[in-house]
Amino acid sequence: MKLGSCVKKVTKIAITGKIGSGKTSLCNIIKKIGYKVYESDKEVEKLLKRAQIIEKVKLLYKGKIRNLIDNNGNINKKIIGNFLFSNKNELDKLEKIKVENLHNHQTTWLDLKGLFIYVGRIPSEETCRFGVALDEEGFILTDDYMRTDVPGIYAAGDIRSKQIRQIQPAIADGMIAAVNIGKIIAC
């Protein structure tokens, strides 16, 4: 499978999604194509082994979780996961978010009590760099398999030309693209 030359200029790829949304499969596909993928789950694993992070977690959950630290001095991820996912009050907490200014790449932390994400309906100017067909508003045109008019390039989610831009259709788009890319790679 040959990719268009403009795609090789991409330096950052971000894949997000909840558990079971297909992000690991999609990351594996992208790696097989030859791109470096920053895998947040693996980076979190590294962070959770740092003494400084372990101390912060211990302070944060002091008196709330028994056996938080295992016999090797590491955070017991299963115990903390069970606590967080069974304790709605802990899941509902959003205190800060780190944001990056896309123009000057400066980052800052914002204190928050809640968050509603809406990125708007104007597609990024970056979409034209892929060399794929766009609709009149600048969204990428695909078929039902998420294929663009350029062989090997797929689009999924809100970047696609479609009527509804919500998380559920975006997740479905991602799964459809991943399944169909997987079929190509398996050949």
In this prediction, residue 10 has a pLDDT band, given cuts at 50, 70 and 90, of very low
Domain check: are 142 and 95 in the same one? no
Within a domain: 1: no
Within a domain: 2: no
What does the mean pLDDT of the chain come to?
A: 76
Give residue 6's pLDDT.
41
3: amino acid identity, one letter? L
**What's the mean pLDDT in 4-13?**
45
Of the residues 90, 111, 132, which one is the last residue of a structural domain? 111
Within a domain: 68: yes
In this prediction, residue 91 has a pLDDT band, given cuts at 50, 70 and 90, of low
Of the residues 111, 132, 148, which one is the last residue of a structural domain? 111
Domain check: are 168 and 145 in the same one? yes
Domain check: are 121 and 169 in the same one? yes
d(CA 145, CA 181): 9
Domain check: are 128 and 96 in the same one? no
d(CA 46, CA 69): 16
Give residue 114's pLDDT.
59
Within a domain: 5: no
Each residue of 121-149: pLDDT tens digit? 666 666 667 788 988 888 889 999 999 99
Range of the domain at 125: 11-39+116-186
**What's the mean pLDDT in 110-117?**
63
Give start and end residues of each alpha helix (H) in 11-130: 23-33, 40-47, 51-60, 77-86, 88-91
Predicted confidence (pLDDT) at residue 119 exceeds the cutoff of 50 = no
15: amino acid identity, one letter? I
Within a domain: 141: yes
Domain check: are 61 and 149 in the same one? no
Structural domain count, the chain: 2
**Cut 0.75: pTM above it:** no
Predicted confidence (pLDDT) at residue 13 exceeds the cutoff of 60 = no
